[in-house]
Chains A and B, each alone.
Chain A
């Protein structure tokens, strides 16, 4: 088929690199190529937002959350392969784009931190790592202690020493709480006296709005004193 004759087609005819052929055909091809990635990107964004909502609002099922997270990872990879992300569709998605380089798990971890949900260790493992479980000890922690986030205010940040457990611990975080973990789920971003070590945390904390909360509503003085005492002891 010669250029300029017959119906317009896209990507079928081989052309000389210097020969752009029928301008109309080229424009139609360019337009459809622009539309296809745009639609795909649109779908990715929609699925991304849907998956995020499902992850945070769905029933407590580890299977479900793993499947959604893997889907999120797949979406992220797809969007990365397609090049730069599509124009932002809304304020919610705008937050996600700077973080596309991170794993979905890290993204969700940071969201969980901001929301005041912290993961804890598993409670059924014996301190010595043995696998035989006993009913009597089933509900107690394994001795690992997650330092209070307030402990990072006056000392060099120790949170980096304890690996953040990730979003899947959320599924059992309440099941794994031990008395030492009662203070770990407090969001102290409003009363921080030292910068956090993670830059991404700082950047994302600025982007995430915590509706219904303000520093004026929190009176940390007394609690801070109590935690200082505990930390000191």
Chain B
């Protein structure tokens, strides 16, 4: 696949017939417009829930903001007012345990598919380990939703050391007529209570509460890079640089180590774990990727300790392209199973690869994200950009892939049509329902009018985190402190 920008659209969304083109339109952008971006406001993870109605973001300040997709006709009681994302970069502080977003009585009609703030809460706080003299960042590394089983929503959020299970629930009724408390909450004198009454429930403005239900701590020596909920909906895994632990959602004081690649002699360490994920359907299978560009698939049925892999995926290196930076650019930054469970996708520095789980020798598809950077690796090594960890994601139907790049560019690949497109998340093209124009990077020779040269790319504007709606053609792209939402034109 070509590394530079390509054709006009993609096909293969769940609502589109095979072969029809898809055009992406700007829908919304969340976040401050300030030139000076506060470090805490930088988005560090984006995740849709299973239905796609909720979109969660985590940032470096340890906050989680959840957006909800509104329906066409909106109940007058369900309009969000407060929003950390609408403020000018201020770190909104909420109660560390319960955060409520009060909704107003205003009635508004929202266009279909618009995401508005549903809940905001401080998930993690900065900590200092006095014994180790180390600061533990509050940055949210990953958010993973749990399948919804009742009216409440649950998600896991993690920083470098601690994983938390949050419950997000709605409250639209309030009990009144307590026997022991006054209406303002003060305790009544028991001696003055002469009669008993039954409290009654009265409607109130809808409130969304976020409360921590479980805290899974002190199980990781190294920095957590991945969490993944199992298909059994009871367990999940957490992975750091050298170990992977298996947890039960109900048990916080114990986890089982299932992978440990830490050598006895740390001098022999040459490889670390970079990402891990459970299979979407087989609760006994998970994969983890490494800094050497390998993927190991493990089956928990074969052994309690999965140090030995069941399958080993690695593509032979091309000797002609060998350089000093070959190992660095081969390091896998993200691994994702397809929704079907038959394939998995890996992202290294320059490419995205699709693997068939039944073939370990080489990927079945390879897509070049920004091949024009291969000649710039030395500079990228010098400015540390070569260590950037880009994520990747599948479309709902597994027919398309998406990943980020520099200059606020993101790339989409249509697997069936074998086409790719480069789009940009920018304020300049953020007009309502404006169709995104494909972008092209000039790799040499004469630059055309709409093209941008490689040397003009802004490497500070990087899109590391993207998410694709599980059912619709709606995508969320995190560009530094802004969250862009794009939809297909038909949507």
Contacts and interface: CB of A to CB of B under 8 A. Distances in A.
Interface of A: 47, 50, 54, 58, 61-64, 66-67, 69-71, 74-75, 78, 103, 105-106, 109, 119, 122-124, 131-136, 138-139, 163-169, 171-172, 174-177
Chain B interface extent, by class? 35 or more
B222 A172 contact: yes
Contacts of B305: 131
A75 B266 CA distance: 20
Contacts of A50: 381-382
Nearest to B217: A135
Q: Point out which of A106, A132, A133, A176 has the most chain B C-beta atoms below 10 A from its C-beta.
A: A133
Nearest to B252: A135
A66 B291 contact: yes
B267 A133 contact: no
Nearest to B254: A134
Given A106-B267, A138-B217, A70 B272 contact: no
B262 to A, nearest CB: 7
A64 B327 contact: no
Interface stretch (B108-116, B130-138, B176-184, B465-473): B130-138
A74 to B, nearest CB: 6
Given A63-B291, A71-B325, A177-B131, A135 B254 contact: yes
A131 B260 contact: yes
Given A122-B262, A135-B254, A63 B221 contact: no
Nearest to B133: A174
B379 to A, nearest CB: 11
The 4 residue pairs across chains A and B that have the minimum distance between CB atoms = A138-B218, A166-B267, A131-B257, A135-B218
A168 B269 contact: yes
Contacts of B217: 135, 138
B253 A136 contact: yes
Given A67-B331, A109-B267, A165-B266, A62 B324 contact: no
Given A67-B328, A71-B324, A138-B219, 14 more contacts: A50-B382, A62-B241, A63-B241, A67-B387, A105-B267, A134-B253, A135-B216, A135-B218, A139-B129, A163-B265, A167-B266, A168-B269, A175-B129, A177-B133
Contacts of A139: 129, 131-132, 218
Contacts of B245: 133
Contacts of B382: 50
B223 interface: yes
Nearest to A67: B328
B137 to A, nearest CB: 10
A75 B327 CA distance: 12
Contacts of B262: 122
A154 B266 CA distance: 29
Contacts of A122: 221, 262
Given A63-B272, A103-B267, A177-B131, A70 B241 contact: no
A50 B219 CA distance: 35
A131 B267 CA distance: 22
B324 A131 contact: no
Contacts of B133: 174, 177
